[in-house]
């Protein structure tokens, strides 16, 4: 006579014990600040934003009236630059337009008044269809998937290690001088985007769907084309993408109001305005934020 009863008990008890342990750890440490019940003074934001920025931002989202979407060029427009406005920056470094659009549908919880969507040329491409948003949303969807997630446990362990051992998990800066990094970004960094650039079709239809929805629901949609340095603007000729670039600008202009900073001129030629050919400095970002506020309030009036 085989002991099925003992077998069943061992499997279920073992499984429940481990899951409970894991769940309790994740509930107490709560590295993504889901429940905010226990505070050990852990560097949760630093670690969690590194582990899964989308998840972190989803969990901190509190239905503001204005959201900013896009990649790192939009992420630099920090919410605190928009004084007197209830703004949430819902952009992710390394993000794609697919992620930005999915984020919009998630963020649209009835309270939205305006959306600022950063659409730089290099992510306006069908070639980069990476979309990490659904995966992040899946983990945050219900308490069980969050508290039983190995990613949450890993982030919790990292937060503990950072606090109690002083170990840093921040992304290491590349061992390059500013000049070398500049060249790297113009070389392999640009080839990564421009070699594979392809005319967006699915992406464009999704953008149009979003534009139509905003029109129908009185949500102001503002497109923002971030500044790039002249060196990068010149690369379009090298990669034979000038026509595609012009067509992209035309399309975005047809879709709605556009704040276009990606133009040749004094600003674009001055390296002091940029961290690298793709990213402007904090100071420039503050000015852009001021322009955005100005434009939004003007249209409201």
Partner 1 sequence: MLFNSHLFVFCFLPITLVAYYLISRVMSHRFSLVWLVFASLFYYAWWNPKYLILILGSIGFNYLFGRLIAQHSNRFLITIGVITNLGALAWFKYAGFLVQNLNVVADTNFHLQTIILPLAISFFTFQQISYLVDVYRGTEPVSNLLYYALFVSFFPQLIAGPIVHQQEMLPQFFKEQISKFSQEKFAVGMTLFFIGLFKKVVLADSVAVYASPVFEAADQGLVISFFEAWGGVLAYTYQIYFDFSGYSDMAIGLGCMFGIKLPINFDSPYQATNIIDFWRRWHMTLSRFLKHYLYFLLGGNRCGRNRRYFNLIVTMTLGGLWHGAGWNFIIWGVLHGLFLIINVIWRSWRSAKNRVVGKLEIWLGRVLTFVSVVMAWIFFRATSITGASGILKGATGQNGAILDDRLEPVLSWLSPVVQFEGTHAGYFNLYGVPWLIVLGLVCWFMPNPVRMMSRFRPALDIGTGFYDRVKTRFPEWQPNRRWAVVVAVLAVLAITHMARVSEFIYYQF
Q: Which residues of this protein are in contact with partner 1, per CB under 8 A?
A: 2-8, 10-12, 14-15, 18-19, 22, 126-127, 129, 134-135, 138-139, 141-142, 144-146, 148-150, 188, 192, 196, 198
Are 203 and 97 contacting, i.e. CB atoms less than 8 angstroms apart? Answer: yes
Q: How many CA atoms lie within 13 A of 29 on its CB side?
A: 30
Min dist CB 152 to partner 1, Å, is 9
Work out how close the CB of 28 gets to partner 1 at its nearest, in angstroms, rounded to a whole number. Answer: 17
| Tokens 């069908």, residue located | 126
Say which residues have a Cβ less than 8 Å from residue 134's Cβ, sequence separation at least 6. Answer: 102
DSSP E strands, the chain: 66-69, 87-89, 114-118, 220-225, 257-260, 274-276, 279-280
Nearer to partner 1 among residue 145 and residue 299 (C-beta): 145
- Of the two residues 15 and 237, which places its CB atom closer to partner 1 in the complex? 15
In the complex with partner 1, the residue whose CB is nearer, 11 or 290, is: 11
CB of 99 to partner 1, least distance (A): 13
Using DSSP bridges, classify how beta strands 279-280 and 274-276 pair: parallel, antiparallel or unpaired: antiparallel
CB of 56 to partner 1, least distance (A): 15
Minimum gap (Å) between residue 137 Cβ and partner 1:
8
Cα separation, 256 vs 227, in Å, equals 19
Least separation, in Å, of the C-beta of 17 and partner 1? 9
Closer residue to partner 1 in complex, CB, 7/164 = 7
224 φ, ψ (degrees, to nearest 5): -130, 120
Nearer Cβ to partner 1 (1/80): 1
CB of 123 to partner 1, least distance (A): 16
> Which residue has 């100005």 as its token pair?
294
Please check whether residue 104 is in contact with residue 220, taking contact to mean a CB–CB distance below 8 angstroms: no
Residue nearer to partner 1 on the CB measure, 18 or 176:
18
Q: Assign residue 241 a region (left: φ > 0; alpha: ψ between -120 and 50; beta: otherwise).
A: alpha
- Looking at beta carbons only, is 55 or 76 nearer to partner 1? 55
Neighbours of 151 (CB within 10 A): 18
In the block, residue with structure tokens 């434009």: 295
Choose between 158 and 225: whose C-beta lies nearer to partner 1. 158
Alpha-carbon distance of 20 to 218, in angstroms, equals 46
CB of 296 to partner 1, least distance (A): 34
């Amino acid at each position: 006579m085989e002991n099925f009863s003992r077998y069943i008990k061992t499997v279920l008890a073992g499984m429940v014990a481990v899951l409970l342990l894991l769940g309790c750890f994740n509930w107490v440490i709560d590295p993504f600040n889901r429940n905010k019940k226990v505070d050990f003074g852990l560097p949760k934001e630093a670690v969690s934003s590194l582990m899964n920025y989308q998840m972190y931002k989803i969990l901190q989202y509190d239905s503001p009236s204005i959201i900013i979407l896009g990649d790192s060029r939009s992420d630099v427009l920090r919410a605190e630059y928009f004084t007197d406005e209830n703004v949430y920056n819902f952009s992710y470094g390394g993000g794609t337009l697919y992620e930005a659009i999915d984020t919009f549908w998630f963020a649209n919880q009835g309270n939205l008044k305006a959306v600022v969507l950063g659409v730089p040329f290099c992510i306006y491409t069908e070639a980069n269809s990476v979309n990490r948003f659904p995966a992040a949303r899946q983990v945050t969807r219900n308490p069980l998937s969050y508290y039983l997630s190995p990613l949450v446990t890993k982030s919790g362990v990292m937060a503990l290690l950072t606090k109690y051992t002083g170990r840093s998990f921040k992304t290491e800066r590349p061992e390059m001088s500013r000049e070398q990094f500049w060249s790297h970004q113009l070389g392999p960094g640009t080839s990564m985007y421009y070699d594979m650039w392809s005319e967006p079709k699915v992406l464009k239809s999704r953008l149009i769907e979003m534009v139509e929805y905003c029109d129908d629901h009185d949500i102001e949609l503002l497109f923002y084309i971030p500044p790039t340095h002249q060196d990068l603007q010149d690369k379009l000729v090298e990669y034979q993408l000038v026509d595609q670039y012009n067509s992209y600008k035309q399309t975005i202009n047809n879709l709605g109001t556009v704040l276009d900073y990606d133009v040749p001129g004094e600003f674009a030629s001055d390296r002091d305005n940029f961290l690298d050919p793709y990213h402007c400095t904090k100071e420039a970002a503050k000015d852009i934020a001021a322009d955005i506020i100005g434009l939004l309030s003007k249209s409201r009036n």
